[in-house]
């Protein structure tokens, strides 16, 4: 029987690419978007805003009109809030957490009763390398992704006896629409002017050097196929080395980030 895969944020970037590839490979794919009619896709697209409780509740009811079982939930929807920590208002920060963290958790909770009843399933969540380490200008984004790491680490244990597997994917910078769709914090504190200027150039350079997304798509598809996936899956050039340096030689990691920012 064809496996059914639900992928949130399937209108763009990683979500669109994974959903399209899985659909072409014969999986039964359901994608989601806040504006499902806007993007023409070859798979079923349903309306979902993970930052809206009513939308999540309605989606839970609608989904099982389209499918009989759910094999894999891919929590992919999210956005990037950039901004120096002190220049970001709590309201802006809350909106970041409301989507990336709470939205992901609320949707997972909405679907867990079905998965537990089935006694099988898989939850793959797209975190970020910034959920395992962090950079200046990413305080709230990194916090939202760190929070997902902590949450799903616990859930992985708790769902073990229901035969529901839990895994994370942690991409470095890849070319999607994430920067076009990002939100910049509005606050300005003049003491930060010079540093903010350097950071903007550092970020621009990072975006220009971002890799094409195939490695992330391949990692997600491998996880869909893997019967017993491990938890963390960092993806990107040098990701594992980068993480090891951060873990075992934090000062070296920190100095290299500072040096790279000070180039600008
Ligand atoms: N690209 C990177 O370098 C990178 C690196 C690490 C992690 N990530 C993570 O990868 C995931 C996918 O991002 P992407 O890079 O593919 O960016 P993208 O091209 O901007 O795609 C984001 C997707 O998320 C959906 N979305 C955003 N807010 C939503 C909400 N409130 N409710 C439901 N859907 C929402 C969008 O759908 P609609 O607008 O149609 O609703 C869109 O399909 C995100 O979680 C991001 O944090 C990206």
pLDDT tens-place string over residues 154-196: 999 999 999 999 999 999 999 999 999 999 999 999 999 999 9
Question: Does position 200 have pLDDT exceeding 90, yes or no?
Answer: yes
**What are the tens digits of pLDDT across the range 87-102?**
999 999 999 999 999 9
Rounded Cα distance between 237 and 207, Å, is: 14
- Cα of 134 vs its chain's centroid, Å: 15
Q: Which two tokens stand for residue 214?
A: 């195939």
Task: Work out the average pLDDT over 130-140.
Answer: 97
Share of the chain above pLDDT 90, in %: 99
**CB neighbours of residue 210 within 10 Å:** 16
Catalytic, 27? Answer no
**What are the tens digits of pLDDT across the range 27-50?**
999 999 999 999 999 999 999 999
Burial group, residue 116, by CB count within 10 angstroms (0-12, 13-18, 19+):
middle
Rounded Cα distance between 138 and 32, Å, is: 26
pLDDT at 63: 97
Task: Work out the average pLDDT over 233-258.
Answer: 95
Task: Work out the average pLDDT over 196-201.
Answer: 97
Ligand 1 pocket, CB under 6 A: 8-15, 33-35, 48-51, 76-79, 99, 103, 126, 128, 171, 173-174, 176-178, 181, 210
pLDDT at 243: 96
pLDDT at 8: 98
Cα radius of gyration (the chain): 19
User: Residue 208 in contact with residue 144, Cβ under 8 Å?
Assistant: no
Question: Does position 1 have pLDDT exceeding 90, yes or no?
Answer: no
**What are the tens digits of pLDDT across the range 224-243?**
999 999 999 999 999 999 99
Q: Which of 7, 8, 14 to mutate to test the pocket of ligand 1 (most atoms within 8 A of CB)?
A: 14
Give the class (CATH, top level) of 4-191+211-238: alpha beta
Task: Work out the average pLDDT over 47-73.
Answer: 97
The pTM of the full predicted model, rounded to 2 decimals, is 0.97
Burial group, residue 208, by CB count within 10 angstroms (0-12, 13-18, 19+):
exposed
Share of the chain above pLDDT 70, in %: 100
- The rounded mean pLDDT for the chain is 97
Q: Which two tokens stand for residue 205?
A: 């350079």
C-alpha 182 – ligand 1 centre gap (Å): 9
Rounded Cα distance between 198 and 76, Å, is: 30
Q: Supply the residue whose CA is at minimum distance from atom 45 of ligand 1.
A: 78
Q: Which of 13, 208, 242 to mutate to test the pocket of ligand 1 (most atoms within 8 A of CB)?
A: 13
């Amino acid at each position: 029987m064809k496996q059914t895969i639900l992928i949130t944020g399937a209108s763009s970037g990683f979500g669109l690419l994974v959903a399209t590839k899985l659909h072409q490979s014969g999986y039964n794919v359901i994608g989601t978007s806040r504006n499902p009619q806007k993007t023409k896709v070859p798979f079923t697209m349903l309306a979902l805003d993970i930052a809206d409780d009513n939308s999540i509740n309605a989606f839970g009811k609608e989904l099982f009109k389209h499918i009989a079982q759910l094999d894999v939930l891919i929590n992919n929807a999210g956005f990037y809030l950039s901004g120096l920590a002190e220049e970001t208002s709590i309201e802006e920060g809350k909106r970041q957490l409301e989507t990336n963290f709470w939205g992901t958790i609320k949707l997972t909770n909405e679907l867990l009763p079905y998965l537990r009843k089935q006694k099988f399933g898989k939850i793959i969540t797209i975190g970020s390398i910034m959920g395992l380490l962090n950079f200046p200008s990413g305080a709230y984004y990194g916090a939202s992704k760190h929070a997902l790491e902590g949450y799903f680490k616990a859930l992985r244990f708790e769902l073990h006896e229901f035969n529901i597997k839990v895994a994370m994917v942690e991409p470095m910078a890849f070319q999607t629409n994430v920067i076009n769709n990002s939100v910049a914090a509005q606050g300005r504190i003049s003491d930060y002017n010079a540093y903010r200027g350097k950071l903007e150039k550092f970020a621009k350079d990072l975006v220009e050097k971002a890799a094409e997304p195939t490695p992330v798509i391949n990692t997600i598809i491998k996880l869909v196929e893997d019967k017993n996936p491990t938890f963390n899956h960092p993806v990107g050039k040098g990701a594992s080395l980068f993480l090891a340096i951060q873990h075992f030689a934090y000062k070296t990691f920190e100095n290299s980030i500072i040096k790279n920012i000070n180039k600008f």
